[in-house]
Structure 1
Amino acid sequence: MVKFLIFMTLVSLLPLLSSCFSSENPTDRRILVLLDDFAIKSSHSIFFKTLQTRGFELDFKLADDPKLTLQRYGNYLYDGLILFSPMIERFGGSLDLAAVLDFVDAGHDLIVAADASASDLIRDVATECGVEFDEDPAAVVIDHTSYAISETEGDHTLIASDNLIQSDVILGSKTVEAPVLFQGVGHTLNPANSLVLKVLSASPSAYSANPKSKLSAPPSLTGSAISLVSVVQARNNARILISGSLAFFSNRLFRSGVQKSGSSVKFEKSGNEQFVTEISKWVFHERGHLKAVNVRHHKVGETDEPAIYRINDDLEYSVEIYEWSGTSWEPYTADDVQVQFYMMSPYVLKNLSTDLKGRYFTSFKVPDVYGVFQFKVEYQRLGYTSLSLSKQIPVRPFRHDEYERFITTAFPYYGASFSTMAGFFIFTIVYLYNK
């Protein structure tokens, strides 16, 4: 009976172990989706279907489910979290604002979708991630210039935007040709947070206000400062997507045709599906995820890594960097990877050459300074996970028997010594034998 219980316990833990984040497969696989209403599962089924066809396991639950939990026995049950519950005032179970932030701090990914009815809880989550929604709960983004032409749209809150971030690693190499439809609330980025980026911006003519009331004062959010969709990559490489519109992910806007005001071109399908699909690949580490392996250094002409270097030694440094393609690790190619030989400040800063197969390498001479140095690679590039590598190595001076017998720079001192001896000898002869 005891053996049977142990066996059942191990079987119950298998999903836990299989869903853990692995450096061999960095893509999130098990995702918790929290909804205000299960009807969202149907109204946003295209987005969920694209995730499932890429191998993700989605666990749909109501945001106020009393059994909600993100971890059990100290292990996280999920790799990613999607909050499609803008109206929730309080999460169920053991989930709260602190638990969501701890989830991100542990290196997991998050998607937050809000709208004009966003609760204080969802706004607080966004604020902690570096963005702030308009304080007016009834305000939405309005644009009388870049709106989408529609038979039923009269207040110009359905925006057709093409102000996308120019980054192949975030949005893919295939251009989003059709405008993206957006209907929701705008937000601004915290200027003190350098980790948050706008990926979909409003046009210069946009502003945030209540479309059902007249403006009595200038709107607080205007122009290109309004972000419609933003992303964050934390220092631990966790990724966050924040959208001011839940409808942005809906089947209705995915399938809707779009014609931007002032343009005669009408697209049969909006760019929402392509945009959301590509950016979700980035958020869930299917693209832009780097890893470094086989960090090595040794003296020129040798292969073994020494325990200590001597000043003026010639050494070689190499590292292999790969990028996750969604299914396998591929060689990463760039010309801006650098290594520092560092002690308090960089004594050597070198660009690494590459063989286009993932290996980066260089060689240099150890500086004429002894102490404890570090090989450091700090690589940060837009859209890619950051790499921070360091290896410590001491550097010693020459031993007493390693110096040259006659040092060229010491020739003046040698001359001074011999000239002093010659002068003393001449002075002695003159002193002794001169009457």
Structure 2
Amino acid sequence: METSMLQLLFVSSLLSLVPLSSCLSLSPLRSPHPRILVLLDDLALKSSHSSFFSSLSDRGYILDYKRASDPSLALKKFGEYFFDGLIVFSPTTEKFGGSVDAASIIDFVDSGRDLILAGDVGMSDVIRDIAYECGVDFEEEPDAVVLDHFNFVSAKSDIDHSLISADSFIASSVILGEAGIQAPVLFHGVAHSVPPANDMVIKVLTGSPTAYSANPRVHSKEPPTLTGSSVGLVSAIQARNNARVVIFGSLALFSNRYFTSPVKKHGGASSYEKSGNEQFVTELSKWVFHERGHLKAVNVHHHRIGETQEPSMYRITDNLEYSMEIYEWSVNGWLPYAGDDVQLQFYMMSPYVLKTLTHNGQGLYSTSFQVPDVYGVFQFKVEYNRLGYTSLSLSKQIPVRPFRHNDYERFIFAAYPYYSSCFSMMFGFFVFGLAFLYHK
């Protein structure tokens, strides 16, 4: 017992040096004026896609336009990144200029920064490689596009029904806004697939049940590999480091022409004076650049009930209280987050205690429980992952000791029968001694 106590005291002194760990940043914006690098195949896209770029500028972003083949391109120098986000609108670029390549863009995302990537018909291998590293696999058949003979938009130039009206949006107000997308999205581009086992990729927009991916100029006897909801049009990735990536299969989706075009499905009764493209990409850009769905946890405390100081260790069967504050970023700043599914684990190899935290509506989450009758090194763990939100990962180690010799009650109620048997034995021996010595 003394050896185990000394070990726990030694571990406690070491753990006092370990801070509370969290994979959160204190602000979704890494600088007061976030800088975005925009890589273009042709600088003429600045005017043809000006509405999208203007929406970013109006929200305070500083856009730096570069040709994708610019020999002076660089994302960082001496380990410091120049930009907070990256927009790649260069689907046909075979090789980036300067020090930028597929690996450096993936490293950019691995550093916790955000990316918007647009593919299109005839995209290069380097764009496919970037998408593949992010968990998205574009259609490999040459000149294949998304076709839909039931949900196409009537146009004289579209004889293949490749200009489709897509409205299979993800049901998430965090990603697409509280109001939702009011009109279908015009889409002309390439499909992609997402491995079912990849839970990091979110299908934001998919094809209708009648959509499929094929080359309209080639007559194939084999059925298409991508059909229905497996036809990915737009997908998002929420990385483990809370970096965000959105991958589009169409560059024209961002164009001013698609923003202002009316939408009416062939043979459909509903018509819209304006497509949902502008609202769709605006809401998605807010999400990918952490203007929405960004959480932070602060003021994490734990202590025995009735006390206020955080102890260096707990004793088995102690009653303790755990509390934390969670806030969500919005346009108006940090606001209290209200979620009913935040859970706390008291963990050693496996959860011994699993409690759902209750909140007061002002961002304060708390719970109380009794320490299990097991001593060792435990962890307070909060692993919160919810669709569209940045993940919270909090943990702190704390030793739990057994009772010391002076922690027990002097007389235990359950041991009264043993106490009485002891004293009765003593009394009986005394009576026997008197009888043995003095009785003739």
Mapped partners of 1:408, 1:148: distance in 2: 83
Q: Secondary structure at the match of 1:127?
A: helix
What's 2:90 paired with? 85
Q: Determine whether 1:320 maps to 2:325.
A: yes
Match of 1:26 among 25, 29, 39: 29
Where in structure 1 do 4 or more consecutive aligned residues deviate above 6 Å?
A: 425-435
351, 354, 360: which one pairs with 2:359?
354
Query: Is 1:59–2:58 an aligned residue pair?
Result: no
Structure 1 counterpart of 2:10: none
What is the aligned partner in structure 1 of residue 152 from structure 2?
Answer: 147
Aligned CA distance change for structure 1 residues 416 and 191 (closer, same or farther; 3 Å): farther
Question: Within 5 Å, which residues of 2 pair with 1:122-201?
Answer: 122-201=127-206
| Structure 2 counterparts to residues 248-267 of structure 1, below 5 A | 248-267=253-272
Q: Trace 1:218-297 onto structure 2 (pairs within 5 A).
A: 218-297=223-302
Aligned CA distance change for structure 1 residues 66 and 429 (closer, same or farther; 3 Å): same
1:392 is aligned with what amino acid? Q
Give the one of 287, 304, 311 matched to 1:306. Answer: 311
Closer/same/farther in 2, CA of residues 139 and 420 from structure 1, 3 Å limit: farther
Conservation of the 8 A alpha-carbon contact between 1:27 and 1:284? no
Number of matched residues?
A: 415
Shift of residue 425, structure 1, vs aligned partner: 6.2
Q: Distance in 1 between matches of 2:371 and 2:25?
A: 37
Within-5 A mapping of 1:33-52: 33-52=38-57
Shift of 1:296: 0.7
Could you tell me which amino acid in structure 2 is paired with residue 26 of structure 1?
Answer: L
Match of 2:151, SS state, is: coil
CA drift at 1:74? 1.1
CA distance in 1, matches of 2:417, 2:69: 86
Q: Is the 8 A contact 1:179 1:260 kept in 2?
A: no
| Cα contact 1:27–1:285 (8 A) shared by 2 | no
Larger relative contact order (C-alpha < 8 A, sep ≥ 6)?
A: 2
Residues 27 and 167 of structure 1: CA distance in aligned 2, closer, same or farther (over 3 Å): farther
Identical pairs, percent: 63
Q: Which amino acid aligns with 1:223?
A: G
TM-score normalized with structure 1 length: 0.91
SS of aligned partner of 1:276: helix
- Corresponding residue SS for 1:295: strand
What is the CA–CA distance in structure 2 between the aligned matches of 1:245 and 1:276, rounded to whole Å? 12
Work out the CA distance in 2 between the residues paired with 1:53 and 1:215. 48
Query: Aligned to 2:169, what secondary structure does the other structure show?
Result: coil
Residue 124 of structure 1: CA displacement?
A: 0.6
Report the secondary structure of 1:391's partner residue: strand
Of the three residues 179, 202, 211, the one matched with 1:206 is 211
* Residue 96 of structure 1 pairs with residue 98 of structure 2: no
Deviations 1:85-136 (A, max 9, x none): 0001111101111101110100000111001111010001110000101111
Structure 1 partner of 2:400 = 395
Residue range with higher mean Cα deviation, 376-385 or 310-319: 310-319
Per-residue Cα deviation, 1:51-82 (whole angstroms, up to 9, x for no partner): 00000011100111111110012100001111
1:357-368 alignment runs, 5 A limit: 357-368=362-373
Gaps of 5+ in 2: 1-23
User: Letter of the aligned partner of 2:314 in structure 1?
Assistant: Y
Distance (Å, rounded) in 2 between the aligned partners of 1:42 and 1:342: 56
Cα distance between partner residues in 2 of 1:104 and 1:184: 25
Gaps of 5+ in 1: 1-20
Deviation at 1:414, TM superposition (A): 3.5
The answer (yes or no) to whether the contact 1:27–1:326 under 8 Å persists in 2 is no
Task: Call closer, same or farther: CA 1:181–1:400 in 2, change over 3 Å.
Answer: same
